[in-house]
Amino acid sequence: MGEQQHVKFPQEVIDEYAALGVDLPALFSAGHLGNRMGVQILEASAERVVGTMPVEGNTQPYGLLHGGASAVLAETLGSIGSMLHGGVSKIAVGVDLNCTHHRGARSGLVTGVATPVHRGRSTATYEIVITDEQDKRVCTARLTCMLREITAKDAGDLPEAGRA
């Protein structure tokens, strides 16, 4: 759970970050919380982000997938899409997350797919649909991120793994 895997990025995005000395595939992960929850990113671009998360280990006392776990998956995927839309000069910061839980999941993997609703200069909004292994919708979420200019302090916080 939480091990690094190869994420499928568009080559032009990899090249854009490499020009700034950032090894995007080495840097990229679901973050500490996402890693603890077993989130795996399978595909990432500004147009579509796909990731999975196991139900096991992410349940509430009744044995169902915890709504907060769905929120973590949704915010992770939407934030990645927003970050890729913003490009190398901006940071995506979540400012609004709305989740509607449709049905419970007790086992297996859930898959989230984030697609853009709005991609502007200062904000990006993504819809995230989370389904179970039978392709039944478990949760629908919407995330809006503020896109702010990167600062020298932000660049200094970059983990060693992503520095070229």
Query: What is the per-residue pLDDT across 26-77, written as a single tens digit (0 to 9) for each?
Result: 555 567 888 899 999 999 999 999 999 999 999 999 999 999 999 999 999 9
CA–CA dist 47, 85 (Å, integer): 8
Q: 73-98 pLDDT, tens per residue?
A: 999 999 999 999 999 888 899 999 99
In Å, how far are 5, 24, 112, 129, 152 from 98, measured between CA atoms? 29, 29, 15, 12, 32
Q: What is the pTM of this model?
A: 0.84
Set 47, 75, 127, 149: catalytic member: 75
Which runs of consecutive H residues, i.e. helices, occur in 19-127?
24-27, 31-36, 67-86
Is 47 an active-site residue?
no
3-state secondary structure of 152: helix
Angle at the Cα of 35 (from 128 to 8), degrees rounded to 5?
60
The tokens for 131 are 């389904």
